[in-house]
């Protein structure tokens, strides 16, 4: 219980306000009426009659039991005012203070929460390559004798970042591809690092060892340039796209240039124009006089369009030839039929020597 004088309502003076009527009581706010009903139900459940003494009893007799039905609870909780009287206005303020008291009581209660379900994340599972997988991946590496070390290192770096092999697996992969040439780039392979797994953080032993190996490969096997070996021309009936794919493969193997170099696209374009079919060149020039000026993608588009035009013209020519042959066949058949018919009619009309002999003798 709160001690007398501790609650701020104990310092209130009395007021001469009129007691509440039934109509005014019904116009109270919904929370107040529900609170009074709850308090009244609590008292009725205990089957006890309110026991009021002194001023509290006088107030109940003055204002009625309906107005002062919460008075016993207020007196037990907050005590009685110091001036020894309750007024209707004071009762209303006590109701408001009681609502705040109940709200603060609910706010300070501890709330029970359910524990969150935690999902266990499985770490990266490392699996050793099988011999078949090792051979399949080794076939993706280019021929270092033709392409050079730079092209080899480019594909090897993609394999490392995608499949995340250990250093021992990288060693097996390079040995499988280079064979005896591996002795030129072997370097130092400490036993303690051979089973090191993928770790591409700066300063990690795995990363430093792979980068040093790639640098030795590029230094030991420089790019080989064989311009005379790039002799690729479009074959009869070969599509422009197929010709460009075949030319690009030969150019990469013998030019020694990386695809990101500025001269790569310019030289490849010149070789493409040099080996392109002459009819396609002439047809492309009909579409545009400046079709040879521009990047390789633009020249390829003009060549493909010219190829389609020539194909359409060739199809139309074949269809016209087929229709002409069909008409000639029909005319020949009709002429042969007419000749055969005339011959049979003449044979019937002209009497033979045997026929005349039988007629006269």
In the predicted model, what is the mean pLDDT of residues 175-183?
87
pLDDT for 165 beyond 60? yes
> Has residue 113 been placed in a domain?
no
Higher pLDDT, 254 or 118: 254
Q: Give the residue numbers spanning the domain of 212.
A: 131-220
Specify the number of domains making up the chain: 3
Among 30-39, 69-78, 234-243, the range of highest mean pLDDT: 234-243
Question: How much is the average pLDDT of 37-55?
Answer: 52
Do 216 and 208 contact (CB within 8 A), yes or no? no
Instruction: Please give the pLDDT value at position 243.
Output: 92
Same domain, residue pair 240 and 360: yes
Closest CA to 215 of 192, 189, 195, 187: 187
Helix 262-275 to helix 296-349 angle (10° resolution) is 20
Helices (H), the chain: 22-26, 30-45, 54-63, 71-78, 88-107, 131-138, 144-147, 149-163, 167-178, 205-220, 240-255, 262-275, 278-287, 296-349, 353-360
What is the rounded distance in angstroms from the CA atom of residue 48 to the CA atom of residue 182?
A: 102
Is 2 inside any structural domain? no
Continuous segment of H or E residues that includes residue 186: none
Angstrom distance (rounded) from CA 24 to CA 92: 11
178 pLDDT above the threshold of 70? yes
Tell me if 248 is assigned to some domain: yes
Higher pLDDT among residues 10 and 309, named by residue: 309
pLDDT exceeds cutoff 70 at 169: yes
Is the domain of 54 the same as that of 171?
Answer: no
Q: Both 146 and 100 in a single domain?
A: no
Contact between 225 and 256 (Cβ < 8 Å): yes
Interval 37-56 mean pLDDT:
53
On whether residue 270 sits in a domain, the answer given is: yes
The residue with greater pLDDT, 359 or 248, is: 248
Q: Are 35 and 60 in contact (CB under 8 A)?
A: no
Residue 211's pLDDT is: 92
Flag whether the pTM goes above 0.85. no
Mean pLDDT of the chain: 74
């Amino acid at each position: 219980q709160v001690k007398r004088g501790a609650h701020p309502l104990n310092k209130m003076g009395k007021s001469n306000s009129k007691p509440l009527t039934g109509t005014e009581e019904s116009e109270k706010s919904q929370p107040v009426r529900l609170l009074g009903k709850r308090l009244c139900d609590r008292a009725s459940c205990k089957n006890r009659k309110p026991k009021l003494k002194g001023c509290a009893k006088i107030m109940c007799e003055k204002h009625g039991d309906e107005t002062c039905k919460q008075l016993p609870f207020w007196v037990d909780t907050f005590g009685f005012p110091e001036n020894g009287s309750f007024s209707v206005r004071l009762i209303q303020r006590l109701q408001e203070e009681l609502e705040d008291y109940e709200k603060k009581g609910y706010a300070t209660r501890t709330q029970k929460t359910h524990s969150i379900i935690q999902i266990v994340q499985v770490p990266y599972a490392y699996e050793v390559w099988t011999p078949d997988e090792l051979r399949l991946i080794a076939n993706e590496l280019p021929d270092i004798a033709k392409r050079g070390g730079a092209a080899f290192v480019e594909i090897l770096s993609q394999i490392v970042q995608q499949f995340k092999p250990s250093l021992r697996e990288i060693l097996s992969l390079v040995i499988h591809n280079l064979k005896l040439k591996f002795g030129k780039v072997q370097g130092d392979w400490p036993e303690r690092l051979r089973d090191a797994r993928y770790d591409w953080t700066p300063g990690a032993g795995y990363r430093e060892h792979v980068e040093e190996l790639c640098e030795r490969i590029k230094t030991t096997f420089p790019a080989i340039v064989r311009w005379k070996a790039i002799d690729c021309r479009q074959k009869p009936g070969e599509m422009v796209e197929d010709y460009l794919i075949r030319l690009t493969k030969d150019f990469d193997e013998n030019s020694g240039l990386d695809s990101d170099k500025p001269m790569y696209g310019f030289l490849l374009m010149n070789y493409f124009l040099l080996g392109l079919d002459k009819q396609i060149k002439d047809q492309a020039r009909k579409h545009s006089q400046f079709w040879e000026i521009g990047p390789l993608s633009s020249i390829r588009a003009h060549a493909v369009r010219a190829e389609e035009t020539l194909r359409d013209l060739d199809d139309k020519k074949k269809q016209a030839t087929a229709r002409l042959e069909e008409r000639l066949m029909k005319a020949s058949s009709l002429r042969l039929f007419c000749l055969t018919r005339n011959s049979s009619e003449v044979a019937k009309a002209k009497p033979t020597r045997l026929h005349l002999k039988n007629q006269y003798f």
